[in-house]
Homo-oligomer: A and B are copies of this chain.
Amino acid sequence: MSGDLVRPAGPGSGRGSGTVVMADVAKLAGVSPMTVSRVLNSPARVRRETRLRVLDAVRELGYRPNSAARVLATGRSGVLGVVGFDTTLYGPASMLFGIEQAARETEYGVTITSLAALTQRNVAEAVDRLRGQSVDGVIIIAPHVPSVDGLADVSAGLPVVAVGGGDGGVIPVAAVDQYAGAAAATRHLLDLGHRTVWHLAGPSDWLEAGARRQAWEDTLRAAGREVPPVVFGDWSPRSGYEFGKRLAGDPSVTAVFTANDQMAVGLIRALHEAGRRIPGDISVVGFDDVPEAAYLSPPLTTVGQDFGQVGRHALQLLLERIGGAPAEEDRRIIVEPELIVRQSTGRPG
């Protein structure tokens, strides 16, 4: 402390009690700062007696290491970035929660950035912003075609994994098997005896929506059934409602599969308003198994996804990468969804 007449305004400038730094601990414990650092980072390399003395000093002074300084010195931050999109939707929100939970058990912090619009540009920018914050890795919850496209360039040198409906490719992905879930839903309706199944898809540029739509179509085709025209909703109950109003007048419709539960809610509302009974007149299957699904009127048959598990897997993939695992080609973990049959589906007629 030579020129302490002029102190740049550091964190907690002025107040003596405010900032306890490593040197303070070192002095109190009668060791060098380096030893304090070692005690905190690789305790095994310090003699037991010394270590205890240092830890006592840490406790007595209430010392907390300054992470910015640590980052600067090591290049590692202990923080992961998560890029999300519309985190009020049940899926993304659950995903975020799952990741945060999983991260907590590993001593990693989580910084989020959500996007207003999912353009490739935006995603690139978000990743870059996170890079500026020295995150050790990034998880992208952006099950969106344009956003995942060409992500590889963006991530140069920074471990990145995607989560959700990812098509995979260059970056590792943890996801639910959307195709299997949607196929099961469609087959369930056919097995009940419905001649064919209508589908309200999610936005066409969402990967998950695409996979569900494809599975629905393939399943109908494989069974030799007619494939009704697809309609694209926007995940909202309102879009389900509008679709429902359109379908309600068509007596040939006996089964509908919507790409998420919220749209199913809107759909069912419209059908009810039109006097159609569920499942008496029309069967409905959703996707997600939101907490309310079991308690709707009628309780909704749907496809359950374990978001928490996907979050954990995504984290695991990311840690592999951070740990310097070979940038293995096409690494991915797929979680199987589960068809949950409740009372919104039944035999036709």
Contacts and interface: CB of A to CB of B under 8 A. Distances in A.
B128 A64 contact: yes
Contacts of A299: 269
Given A11-B134, A100-B112, A128-B64, A87 B79 contact: no
Interface in A76-106: 77, 79, 86-88, 90, 93-94, 96-97, 100-101, 104
A157 B72 contact: no
A326 interface: no
A292 B292 contact: yes
Nearest to A128: B64
B101 A114 contact: yes
A237 interface: yes
B97 A87 contact: yes
A6 interface: no
A8, A69, A71: most-surrounded residue (chain B CB, <10 A): A71
Contact of A153 (B13, B79, B134, B295): B13
A93 B291 CA distance: 14
Contact of A111 (B69, B79, B88, B238): B79
Contacts of A67: 132-134
Contacts of A5: none
Nearest to A10: B75
Task: Report how many copies the assembly holds.
Answer: 2
A44 interface: no
Interface string A46-67: 0000000000000000001111
Interface in A88-144: 88, 90, 93-94, 96-97, 100-101, 104, 109-114, 116, 128-129, 131-134
B153 A265 contact: no
Contacts of A266: 292, 295
B156 A237 contact: no
A221 interface: no
Given A68-B68, A79-B111, A132-B66, A265 B17 contact: no
A112 B114 contact: no
A236 interface: yes
A45 interface: no
Contacts of A93: 87-88, 93
A240 interface: yes
A71 B68 contact: yes
Nearest to A87: B97
Given A68-B71, A96-B87, A112 B113 contact: no
Nearest to A236: B291
Contacts of A294: 237
Contacts of A71: 68
Nearest to A82: B112
Contacts of A153: 13, 15
Contacts of A11: 75, 134
Contacts of A134: 11, 66-68
B112 A157 contact: no
18 contacts: A13-B75, A65-B132, A69-B72, A72-B72, A87-B93, A88-B90, A88-B97, A93-B93, A100-B112, A100-B113, A101-B114, A101-B116, A104-B114, A104-B116, A109-B133, A112-B112, A265-B296, A269-B295
